[in-house]
Structure formats: C-alpha cells, structure tokens
A and B are shown apart, each in its own frame.
Chain A
C-alpha cells in the first residue's frame, strides 16, 4: 500500500493568515503517461463527511473557494489556504488514487489562533 504522511498533525493560524499542510507519499503518484498526479485533498468539518476540495493535486473542485490551492508532484504535495476564514476550521486529508487500495493521510487539524 502507498503510505500517505501528513504534517503537521495540527496547526493554529490567525484569521486572514496563510495555512500550509504537507503530504508525502511513500512512492510517486505521478502517472507518466498523462503527467497527472493522482492526489486529492478533502476537508472534513465536525460531524460531517469529508468534502472533496482538490484533485489531480492542483485542480479545485467546482464551488471550492480560490483561497484553497494545491501544489506538488511525485511524492511531495502541499495544500495552502491563502487567507484563513473561520469556516475553514476542519481536518484536512490528502489521498492517493494512483494504486488500489486508495489510502489517506492521517489528517491535519486546522484551528484558529
């Protein structure tokens, strides 16, 4: 299985400030034939199911605010919230879909400082 490792486990950020979450995969999730990274990001608020934010490492899902952005390639990826809003308090998960079984990172909890 591909192991997904996120850092940090939790992060406290002031409103309006930038939040950055890192995700590392145990092997590359870049598919060379189409040059796409099979990596997505999900947001989970308390008591709710996860919500897809970003796929192909950097493509925002429809309706996701543009303060959310994804970057990276191969084994190292980053989710950035450019200006943290109160409604962004949640746990964020990266997930690879390069190889079955799909696997998720352990999650990063974003809180307001």
Chain B
C-alpha cells in the first residue's frame, strides 16, 4: 500500500523560497505522475503542477513563472520549489499520486505560512 509522506519548512518570510519534498513508500514510482496541490486556509483547491519519473512536467500557468517541480527517482521522491513567496502563498500544500490524472493517493499536507 503506497504512502506519501511530505516535509519542508512551515514558516517563511516574504520573498523567500518555499521548498517541500514528498517521499513515496511502497508501490511503483515510475508508473504515475506526481502532483502538488495547495489549499489556502478555509478555501478551495488549486492544482500547482505534476511530474513523471522521467522529469516531464506540467505546471499551472498561474504559477509557472515561480514554480519548479523536480524528481529524484533514486530516492522515490519529488519536490516543489516556489520562489518569491507572499502572504497569498500561505496554504496547506499536498502531494499526490496521479493515475490517469485522477488524484488517488494524497500526502498528509503541510501548512506553509508566509509572514514577516
């Protein structure tokens, strides 16, 4: 049974870079796309982007200029970097496994707060 475990800094100052990593434990890593989604407190869900094992990425155009998603197949991990954060980037960030674009497995979520 696959498990996704995510980690990273939870408190950032404006203009800093958000960095999160998601580890995939159990199951195949190469057969899926790996996705990041975020959810501002009390609000809805926003798809950030995805990556596959070979490094092919798709980003949300609304964030594309600031986002980098990368993969480390040797560790079955993928990561999210978001540069120049502002208070508007405060959210719970989720990693997820995508099966034919269906988000079937999710990480536990990481609250990232941007505050001076």
Interface residue B61 (Cβ < 8 Å from any Cβ of A):
yes
Identify whether the interface residues of A are mostly helix, strand, loop, or mixed: loop
A100–B60 alpha-carbon span in the complex (Å): 7
What 1/0 flags go to A81-112 for Cβ under 8 Å of B?
Answer: 00000000000010101001111111100000
Please report the total number of B residues contacting A with Cβ < 8 Å.
19
A5–B107 alpha-carbon span in the complex (Å): 26
What 1/0 flags go to A44-83 for Cβ under 8 Å of B?
Answer: 0000011110010000010000000000000000000000
Using known A-B contacts A101-B60, A101-B61, A101-B62, determine if residue A50 contacts B45 with beta carbons closer than 8 Å. Answer: yes
Q: Which of B3-49 contact A (CB under 8 A)?
A: 44-47
Given A1-B61, A51-B106, A95-B45, 17 further pairs, Cβ under 8 A:
A38-B101, A42-B103, A49-B96, A49-B108, A50-B45, A50-B94, A93-B45, A97-B101, A97-B102, A100-B58, A100-B60, A101-B61, A102-B101, A103-B47, A104-B44, A104-B46, A104-B47
Contact sample, A vs B, 23 pairs, CB 8 Å cutoff: A1-B61, A40-B102, A49-B107, A50-B45, A51-B106, A52-B102, A52-B103, A55-B102, A61-B104, A93-B44, A95-B45, A95-B103, A97-B101, A97-B102, A100-B60, A101-B58, A101-B61, A102-B47, A103-B47, A104-B47, A105-B44, A107-B44, A107-B45
